[in-house]
Amino acid sequence: MHKTCLITALLLGAAAPLAISAAPAPAGTQAPTAAGIDETAMDRSVRPGDEFYQFSAGAWQQRAQIPADRSSIGAHTIAADETDRQQMALIRKVLASSPAAGSDEARIRDYWQAYLDTAAIERAGLTPLKADLARYAAITDNAQLTRVLGDQTEADVDLFNNNNDMSTENLFGLFITKALKSDAVVPYIFQGGLGLPDREYYVSTQPRMVTIRDQYRTYIASLLRLSGVSDPEGRAGRILDLETRIAAATPAKADTADFTKGGTLWSRADFARNAPGMDWDAYFTAARMPAQQTFDVYSPSAITGLAALVGSQSLEAWKDWLAFHRINAQTDVLPAKLDALHFAFFDTTLSGTPQQKVREKRALAAVNDDLGMPFGRLYVAAYFPAQAKAQVSDMATRIKHAFDRRIDALDWMAPATRTEAQAKLAGMVVSVGYPDTWPDSSLIVIKPGAAYANRMAAIRGKTLQELAKLGKPQDRGEWWMTPQMVNAVNLPVQNALNFPAAILQKPFFDPAADLASNYGAIGAVIGHEISHSFDTSGAAVDGTGTLRNWWTAQDLAHFEAQSQALVAQYDAYAPFPDLHLNGKLELGENGADVAGLAAAYDAYREALGGKELPVIDGYTGDQRFFIAYAQGWATKTRDGALRRQVIGNAHAPGPYRALTVRNVDAWYKAFDVKPGDKLYLDPAKRVHLW
């Protein structure tokens, strides 16, 4: 039930919880004005040119309290909490009805009730696991191991759930869409196999990481002991050693953030030549792709390395690893002692979250993971008005036009490159709210009173749903997020954008607020996602979603030089004395912030039709635009979770994303920022990508 950095690369711009628009205020404080910014969040004791994030959201930062069951809090939690409230009302409505057998409502009801029936989960104990554990124990040779690995190659189409854990606990992951280098819809095969969040947790020699590895070994042993597995300490040592080898074969995320460097097409025969160590024909047959001949291998060196480990490491180590990860991945539908142990390590030790969410909240998250699209269909019918869809669609059109004008005005771009860029922009598909065609989720078979079986049925059903796309043309209208997710995404190989319904509400978007705050908030999100089609990775894909260099050599050199300046700018930021941001890893997201904010500002000015908004409470329209943007990144995060983000997430922490304004000339004019102010950048050092 986890994700991978490949998915983040192919589906750009949505790997971290968004926090865009007015920062949340505690109950009982003044609500945001009609202008859409929250003056109670601001700290006017600092100069905007010295501490713009503090100026925009410092008072909120000071008083905000992270709930005990969360690792962070920010503006995104307003929309997320409201979405949860709406969804809970839908659940109550479903429970009070008598849905027809086999209907979406019936499956949601049966899944929900089984997940909440913890007494039944306790009575079942480890019985639901017995068949899998017996299958692992019965492995006697490499051929059997390979078939099990193939059978457990799973696809998960409800992306960016599970707290954005960007890993897969299976050795190989599956993702199906158009190939980067052809028009065919193919399986992407990518690496997984790690229990810790990132390879750095295994290879780093920093004392903190060494301690975490020791704690992880203890956790593995404890989980196996509670599961009744013999010699838990010995098995834990073998598992950690094997995962360390897997980590060594896994490239750093900064090296895979640019997906254009991957995406190598292999024929079926290429696997035996390029990745010896396992019977690939047996693997693909077990993975339910017996006739598939072409695959997209996102990181060839990793696949080669993992196959070598399958062929060289002991069967006993692999059997231990399989058993541990089958238990570890599904502790929420197993007895409470396992669930509590999992939370204590992954949430408290790694992220600093002291308290588990109540079971109902977790049930809601599980429904969204496993039945996300059927539930989303109910959600938009009840909570997404046509007015919001029309208004946001109009904003998106204006921002696309603004981006087009920016391309036209680039004095460094050759006509041939400009023509390609504008053709890509013109062909971009922007989907607002929900998909035009809902996917068929009938392959997910849910049974009453079977929480673990329902989880596995959801995983298998979604995998079969993905496999059914093979041999068919690409669906450019396909959605990779559920409508009830507070996020947004760019889909490079589809040349399409998704803006789910749940992000199109307060505080991200308010139809009653003025143009300045809406364009500074949701407009910047729209601009960000459009910009991903032209960032360091997206700019390598043409309007058909095919990996192709459509740049002149001079234009590409100019673009890459500006990109490196942005890398250096973010490398200089240090959330901790011993940990700086990784500008290379974050380049795609930071670049989209820069270009997206600039395009949103242009669209906002165009929407004014040459007029100026009135000054409200002392702030001009332009000032409110930038304040709304910065308040949108109001975020407070526990230290453990913040370190985890900096190490392995392609998104910079919110307060640093707010500093994107340093690269936008209009911000300097709006707040009279001058040389000598701490955030001032000489015009020659401001990054202008588009």
Nearest to 135 by CA among 444, 456, 455: 456
Q: What is the pLDDT of residue 29?
A: 27
Q: What is the pLDDT of residue 2?
A: 33
- What are the chain's domains? 91-372 (1.10.1380.10), 385-435+483-634+658-664+677-685 (3.40.390.10)
Q: What is the pLDDT of residue 538?
A: 80
Q: How many CA atoms lie within 13 A of 413 on its CB side?
A: 21
| Spatial separation of the C-alpha atoms in residues 146 and 140, rounded to whole Å | 11
| Spatial separation of the C-alpha atoms in residues 648 and 636, rounded to whole Å | 18
Residue 651, C-beta contacts closer than 8 angstroms, at least 6 positions apart? 15, 16, 586, 589, 645, 657
256 and 262 in contact (C-beta within 8 Å)?
A: yes
| Spatial separation of the C-alpha atoms in residues 312 and 410, rounded to whole Å | 54
Element (H, E) at 404: helix 386-409
The CA-based diameter of the chain, rounded to the nearest angstrom, is 76
| Spatial separation of the C-alpha atoms in residues 173 and 299, rounded to whole Å | 12
If DSSP codes are grouped into helix, strand and coil, which group holds residue 430?
strand
Q: How far is CA 583 from CA 171, 319, 501, 558, in A?
A: 29, 39, 31, 18
Burial class (CB in 10 A: 0-12, 13-18, 19+), 358: exposed
Axis-axis angle for helices 300-312, 142-151 (nearest 10): 140
212 and 201 in contact (C-beta within 8 Å)?
A: yes
Nearest to 277 by CA among 316, 246, 234, 308: 308
Q: What is the pLDDT of residue 77?
A: 82
pLDDT tens-digit readout, 218-234: 999 999 999 999 999 99
Q: What is the pLDDT of residue 36?
A: 81
Q: Which residues of the chain have pLDDT under 70?
A: 1-35, 156-167, 257-262
Q: How far is CA 568 from CA 595, 648, 676, 684, in A?
A: 17, 18, 21, 14
| Spatial separation of the C-alpha atoms in residues 209 and 196, rounded to whole Å | 11
